[in-house]
Amino acid sequence: MSEPATTPTQPPEGGSPKQKDSYEAVIGLEIHVQLATVTKMFCGCELSFGEPPNTRTCPVCLGLPGSLPVANAHAVHLGLVIGLALGCELAPRSVFHRKNYFYPDLPKGYQISQYDEPLCRGGALGEVRIRRVHLEEDAAKLIHVGSSGRIHGSDASIVDFNRGGTPLAEIVTEPDLRTPEQASEWLKLLRTTLRQLGVSDVNMEEGSLRCDANISLRPACSAELGTKTELKNVNSFRFIERGIRAEIARQERILHAGRQVVQETLHYDPASDRITSLRSKEEAHDYRYFPEPDLLPVAIDQHMLAAARQALSELPSERAARFQRQLALSLETAQLLSFRSELGDYFEAALAAGADPAPPAQALANWVTGELAPRLGGYGREHDDRGGGSAVADEPVDGGVGGDPVNSRVTPAALAALVGMTAAKQVSVGAARQVLDRLIAEGGDPRAIVEAEGLAAMDGGDELAAIVAAAIAANADAAQRVREGNAKAVGPIVGQVMRQTRGRADGTEVARLVNEQLGV
Partner 1 sequence: MIGRDEVLHVARLARLALAEEEIEPMARELSAVLEHVERIGELDLDGVQPTSHVVASSSKVDVTRALRPDEPRPCLPREVALAQAPAVSDGGFLVPSPQA
Partner 2 sequence: MSAEVLALSAAQASAAIGAGELDAGELFSFYRERAEADREAGQEGLNCFTWVAREAPGKAGTRVRETVPHWPDTVRMHESAGSSLAGVPLAVKDLFCTEDAPSQSGSRMLEGYTPPYTASAVARLREAGAPLLAKTNQDEFAMGSSTENSAFGPTLNPWDRTRVPGGSSGGSAAAVAAGLAPWALGTDTGGSIRQPASLCGVVGLKPTYGSVSRYGMIAFASSLDQAGPLTRDVTDAALMLAHMIGRDACDATSLAHPQQIALPSAERLDGVRIGVPAELEPEGSSIEDGVRRCFHRALALAEELGAQVNTDISLPHAPYGLSAYYILAPAEASSNLARFDGVRYGLRAASSSKVEGATDLLDMYTRTRHDGFGREVKRRIMLGTYALSSGYYEAYYGRAQKVRTKIAEDFATAFASVDLIATPTSPGVAFALGEKTADPWSMYLSDYFTVPMSLAGIPAISIPCGLSDEHARAGANGAEANGSGLPVGLQLAGPAFSENKLLDAAHALERAIAFDSTAAHV
Binds partner 2 (CB under 8 A): choice among 20, 22, 30, 62? 62
Comparing CA positions, the residue from 344, 391, 28, 471 lying closest to residue 207 is 391
Count of positions on this chain that bind partner 2 (CB under 8 A):
37
Binds partner 2 (CB under 8 A): choice among 107, 123, 403, 405? 107
* CB 36 to partner 1: min, Å: 10
Q: Give me the DSSP letters along 100-151.
A: E---TT-TTSEEEEE-SS-SEE--EETTEEEEEEEEEE---EEEEEEE-SSS
In the bound state with partner 1, the residue whose beta carbon lies nearer, of 198 and 491, is 198
Q: Are 236 and 204 in contact (CB under 8 A)?
A: yes
In the bound state with partner 2, the residue whose beta carbon lies nearer, of 135 and 215, is 135
Comparing CA positions, the residue from 223, 215, 213 lying closest to residue 262 is 215
Q: How far apart are CA 15 and CA 5, in angstroms?
A: 20
* CB 60 to Zn ion: min, Å: 5
Binds Zn ion (CB under 5 A): choice among 43, 168, 337, 372? 43
Binds partner 2 (CB under 8 A): choice among 154, 302, 310, 407? 154
* CB 388 to partner 2: min, Å: 18
Q: Are 291 and 32 in contact (CB under 8 A)?
A: no
Subset of 85-104 contacting partner 2 (CB under 8 A): 98, 100, 102, 104
Q: What backbone phi and psi angles, to 5 degrees, belong to 324?
A: -65, -45
* 3-state secondary structure at position 8: strand
Q: Is 61 in the site for Zn ion (CB under 5 A)?
A: yes
Give contact residues for partner 1 (rule: CB under 8 A).
Answer: 37-39, 43-46, 52-59, 62, 70-76, 95, 102-104, 142-145, 148, 150-151, 154-161, 286, 288, 291, 293, 295-299, 301
* 3-state secondary structure at position 80: helix
Distances (CA, A) of 452 to 44, 175, 356, 404, 448: 60, 60, 19, 28, 6
In the bound state with partner 1, the residue whose beta carbon lies nearer, of 56 and 131, is 56
In the bound state with partner 2, the residue whose beta carbon lies nearer, of 96 and 347, is 96
Q: Is 45 in the site for Zn ion (CB under 5 A)?
A: yes
Stretch in the footprint of Zn ion (CB under 5 A) among 13-21, 53-61, 114-122, 153-161: 53-61
* CB 148 to partner 1: min, Å: 6
Binds 458: which of partner 1, partner 2, Zn ion, none (CB < 5-8 Å by kind): none
Residues in the chain, total: 520
Q: Is 4 in the site for partner 2 (CB under 8 A)?
A: no
Instruction: Give the 3-state secondary structure of 298-341.
Output: EECCHHHHHHHHHHCCCCHHHHHHHHHHHHCCCHHHHHHHHHCH
Q: How far apart are CA 162 and CA 56, in angstroms?
A: 5
Count of positions on this chain that bind Zn ion (CB under 5 A):
5
Binds 95: which of Zn ion, partner 1, partner 2, none (CB < 5-8 Å by kind): partner 1
Residues in touch with partner 2 (CB under 8 A): 43-45, 58-60, 62-71, 98, 100, 102, 104, 107-110, 151-154, 159, 286, 288-290, 293-296
